[in-house]
Amino acid sequence: MIFGILVTKKRYGAADFGTVGLMVAGLGIFMHADAKTSAVFQPLGIIMLTISLLCDGAISNLSEALMNQYDVGQDEFIFRL
């Protein structure tokens, strides 16, 4: 969502921000519950997960921006990769 705002200058409604807030809260609760158990969180794994999520957000928004800029459909965009 952050990449959508920064890269493609998208506008999101209150429902979208609410959905993201609920997802973040749920993930926080999940991570907090797991931290109290005997599970071991590897810093490298958390870093890799964070990088993966950032790249996923960047790629999807950049792809959408390119498709809009060159007036290309999703099928043609995938085919020409």
Rounded average pLDDT over 14-38: 83
Q: Is the pLDDT of residue 4 over 90?
A: no
- Residue 36 gets which letter from DSSP? T
% residues pLDDT > 70 (the chain): 91
Residues 6 or more apart whose CB falls under 8 angstroms from that of 52 comprise none
Q: Is the pLDDT of residue 32 over 80?
A: no
8 Å CB contact between 4 and 61: yes
| pLDDT at residue number 45 | 85
Q: pTM of the predicted model, to two decimals?
A: 0.60
Structure tokens given for 30: 């999940």
Q: Is the pLDDT of residue 57 over 70?
A: yes
